[in-house]
Structure 1
Amino acid sequence: MNSSQMIKMDDAPLSKFHIKMAALTFGAHFTDGYVLGIIGIAFTLIKPQMNLDPLWTGLIGSSALIGLFLGSLILGYISDFIGRQKIFVFSFILITLASFLQFFADTPAQLLLLRILIGIGMGGDYSVGHTMLAEFSPKKHRGVLLGSFSVIWTFGYVASTLIGTYLLSIGPDAWRYMLASSAIPAVVILLLRMGTPESPRWLINKGRIDEARNIVKKYLGPNIVLDDETPVKKTQGSFAQLFSKDMRKRTVFNCLFFVCLVIPYFAIYTFLPAILESMGLSENFGTDLLLNGLLVVGALLGIWCTIKYSRRGFLISSFIILAVTLFLLTVLPEGATTLMILVFAIFTLIMSAVSNLVGVFPAESFPTEVRSSGVGLATSFSRFGSAIGTFLLPIGIDSFGIHPTMLALTGVLVVGTLVSIAWAPETKNLSLSEASDMQKTA
């Protein structure tokens, strides 16, 4: 075959294998949305049956997020040493087993431990799943594939609500079936992930060039070749490297923009009915039904924006719109119901749309040797922030009122705007093999 017929991985056409890898990654996000959604309905039965006090309720409610924080940090770091594929499979072994064992939990401590383990598995998958998908995907389609996960997450969350509501009729032990049901999508994904190949980019960095070539030919086609066969010189993935002089800016950017988006997202939409009531919109607005529908529409809109616009421009303009609309919701008088509904709708659409970028920027920002560590650190930082924000929001509303609390969240979005203007790189047409030079053009 002539060299002119050879195509680099980054320029390869979209194939069935790319779609399979995307489906396996999306399946993980469906499971994540399902796990985080089902606990809310299950709590209506668990709390009286286990006599949970507010402390245990809070601990169990945040347990999966605690696990996500740990899993993203630890398993993402480990995968840069032992390989992506091992963690890609291990994470769902852990999720499947811990999900099933929830059926047999008899104490709050047992349930807490199992949900932390589920979160650890999901955290590891966030860092490694995005990394695997990014390292296999051609750059033309990478943004769409990485950014589409928020749509699937929403479907998982909605599915948990429907199934949980249906299972309530079983009786007081229905919570066991609800929580254990997350093992069903998890085991399907686990079985499909068996036999998936290692990332060629990771193999190159370990000097295993022949293995990388064979994987590319087998799964992507005989005319597809590696972008770059030069390993990074004696470099091991490490958190120290993420904060080295040439990489610290992109590391801090990915952590901060991510957390500045998820703090208001999780805080507002976790307690949406209470917020709408505080703002005098609960009777006039279709409560969270309408806004949840707008979240789905916004997620689809985000895919289109990721294709059409630059990453940097999309992020900065979204942060500005979010900060302005949330500020308006804070200062508008309660009588301006129609205007408040319109502003909240815009806020919801843009927040959901730009959330696509949390799956794109981290995976595209870091070089191969620390990509999982970088994605894991950004994800971990975001989950820690979302847990803190979700915990503090009801306290803030109770202590200071809805308007000062929303103003504080507006401040978070302003910080995100400034960070993005100062440090957001443009990664839309960047080859992953060029990521190590990105700080020169950021």
Structure 2
Amino acid sequence: MLLKIVIYFFGLKCYIFNEKYLQKREKKKINYKEAPYSKFHKTLFFCAVLGQIACGFALGIAGTAVTEGKADLGLSTFWVGLLGAGTLIGLAGSLVVGNLADKIGRSKLVLLDMAFFTVFSIAQFFTSSVPVIMALRILIGLCIAIDYTVGSTIVSEWFDPETAPSYLSKFIIYWTFGYVLSFFTGLVMSNLHTDYHIIFASSAIPGAIAAIARITLGIAEAPSWMASVGRVEEANKLVAEKLGPEYKIVAEEKKEEEKVSVAELFSPKYRRNTLVGGMFYACQVFPYFGVGIFLPILIGQLNMGDANTSSIIYDVFCMAGAFAGTWLCARMSRRSFLTSTFFGAAIALVIMIIGQNISIVITVIAFAAFALIMSIAVVMEWPYPPELFDDRVRGTGVGIVVAFSRIGAALGTFLLPILMDSIGGTGTLIVCAAVLVLGGVVCQLFAPETSASYLKKVAEKEAAVN
């Protein structure tokens, strides 16, 4: 009898020990967002930045194509601005895209958008109808909206929160490369008197490269989104497959029937972040695209010497700004970065206005400074919007912020040729400077600080006080 009791308690002890061991082992599993940078992360990032190159190229080539096709298409100033802004108008579709991504997931949209982008780009070669070209430009813009909205979201949801902003800020280098490449391509094509159909359709090349890479290599769904819709087990299997069995999804509890709506983004919890995100983005891209896309028209009215030389200077400093912005993004707080670039670019435009009547050297230096600062500034368009929202509403939140921005970009691009005709180059620069000052004031007063390093310091101070 005594022997049976000993055996029973020994077996019970072994069982308890085994259960504790298994629980301890389970606890040792690490949040997948803490996984080190791996081949999987490299592949995802590679597929994402190929799309950014294609997007930058498509937006930049529009100015050259419209300028070359103006006579053949019989375009008025109104239609020059509208066609130039067509892609940016399509980008306003990011509002719908973001909400769709929160409902059906990220990977399907990212996987297919560059294929459609390529088809729409090629279709421009086969039409001379202005309304059809306009419709195709809007559709291309909608594809770009997917990359802007969902591409940045899926990267932020797979990468470590502390390092994700660094990788997202690098998007601008690849986007600017595509943008600058379009200027040099356009310059060569213009000098060769290339037909405007070919110029429009040339964006199919980077689009096809991105589409092939994504379809071949694949795009994995974001585990945090899967968990947010109740697919936790499936998310853990995906994490184990991509990163290793020691990693898992750490999901926040959510209420049943919890749905994402656009109206929720304007509720007391989110409205400040939504409005700040939209305003900062719109005020940045209004002058950036307005000046960039119709650069030859602006240079022609200002005291800046040879148009080709001035365009090359602008492109070189844009590229330099992308690298400088990526470096600064990791070393400055979000608020300081935003306000300093807004006010710095506005000052550069004011100096350009004054310099026209003094010296071509001053004008060109200020123009180069404007290109540099604006290219630094737009780095924040990738890491900041996803940081403003939590996992559940991030897709919709980023979508609505990008939609705000496209209104600003489309207005800047559409209005620039009209403003140049009505109030001249100086008046146009004053309008751009005023928009930049507005953006700086809004960020100074309302922009939340979201950088991981800053939030970590705040948490540490609070813990020390408690």
Same fold (TM over 0.5): yes
CA distance in 2 between counterparts of 1:389 and 1:370 reads: 29
Q: CA RMSD in A?
A: 2.8
Q: Which moved more, 1:144-153 or 1:338-347?
A: 338-347
1:298 is matched with 321
2:166 is matched with 144
Q: Decide whether aligned partners of structure 1 residues 207 and 175 sit closer, same or farther in structure 2, where only a CA change above 3 A counts.
A: same
Q: Decide whether aligned partners of structure 1 residues 341 and 4 sit closer, same or farther in structure 2, where only a CA change above 3 A counts.
A: farther
Number of equivalences: 430
**1:202 to partner: Cα distance:** 0.7
What is the aligned counterpart of 2:62 among 8, 14, 39?
Answer: 39
CA distance in 2 between counterparts of 1:232 and 1:346 reads: 50
Cα deviation, 1:49-71, whole Å, max 9, x if unaligned, reads 4444445444433221221112x
CA distance in 2 between counterparts of 1:160 and 1:308 reads: 30
Q: Decide whether aligned partners of structure 1 residues 338 and 160 sit closer, same or farther in structure 2, where only a CA change above 3 A counts.
A: closer
Q: Is 1:132 equivalent to 2:154 in the alignment?
A: yes
Q: Which moved more, 1:288-297 or 1:159-168?
A: 159-168
Q: Is 1:428 equivalent to 2:451 in the alignment?
A: yes
CA distance in 2 between counterparts of 1:163 and 1:272 reads: 14
What is the aligned counterpart of 1:211 among 212, 230, 234?
Answer: 234
- What is the one-letter code of the residue matched to 1:90? L
CA distance in 2 between counterparts of 1:283 and 1:109 reads: 34
CA distance in 2 between counterparts of 1:135 and 1:326 reads: 38
**1:133 to partner: Cα distance:** 1.0
**1:170 to partner: Cα distance:** 8.5
**1:261 to partner: Cα distance:** 0.9
**1:405 to partner: Cα distance:** 3.1
Q: Is 1:104 equivalent to 2:120 in the alignment?
A: no
Q: Which runs of 5+ in 1 are unaligned?
A: 433-442
Q: Decide whether aligned partners of structure 1 residues 356 and 321 sit closer, same or farther in structure 2, where only a CA change above 3 A counts.
A: same
8 Å Cα contact 2:85/2:411 also seen in 1 = no
2:220 is matched with 197
CA distance in 2 between counterparts of 1:399 and 1:234 reads: 54
**1:233 to partner: Cα distance:** 5.1
Q: Decide whether aligned partners of structure 1 residues 423 and 114 sit closer, same or farther in structure 2, where only a CA change above 3 A counts.
A: same
What is the aligned counterpart of 1:226 among 249, 253, 257?
Answer: 249
CA distance in 1 between counterparts of 2:99 and 2:63 reads: 31
1:154 is matched with 176
TM-score (norm 2): 0.84
Q: Decide whether aligned partners of structure 1 residues 188 and 133 sit closer, same or farther in structure 2, where only a CA change above 3 A counts.
A: same
What is the aligned counterpart of 1:415 among 425, 432, 438?
Answer: 438
**1:206 to partner: Cα distance:** 0.3
CA distance in 2 between counterparts of 1:388 and 1:418 reads: 20
SS of residue in 1 equivalent to 2:240? helix
Q: Decide whether aligned partners of structure 1 residues 362 and 418 sit closer, same or farther in structure 2, where only a CA change above 3 A counts.
A: same
1:398 is matched with 421
CA distance in 1 between counterparts of 2:316 and 2:302 reads: 20
Q: Decide whether aligned partners of structure 1 residues 163 and 352 sit closer, same or farther in structure 2, where only a CA change above 3 A counts.
A: closer
What is the aligned counterpart of 1:117 among 133, 139, 144?
Answer: 139
2:113 is matched with 91
SS of residue in 2 equivalent to 1:308? coil
- What is the one-letter code of the residue matched to 2:288? Y
SS of residue in 1 equivalent to 2:157? helix
Q: Which runs of 5+ in 2 are unaligned?
A: 1-23, 456-466
1:435 is matched with none
Cα deviation, 1:346-381, whole Å, max 9, x if unaligned, reads 332221112100111111111122211111111111
1:440 is matched with none
8 Å Cα contact 1:74/1:124 also seen in 2 = no
**1:332 to partner: Cα distance:** 4.6
**Paired residues for 1:269-348 under 5 Å:** 269-283=292-306, 286-332=309-355, 334-348=357-371
1:180 is matched with 201
Q: Decide whether aligned partners of structure 1 residues 42 and 275 sit closer, same or farther in structure 2, where only a CA change above 3 A counts.
A: closer
- What is the one-letter code of the residue matched to 2:425? I
CA distance in 1 between counterparts of 2:411 and 2:326 reads: 29
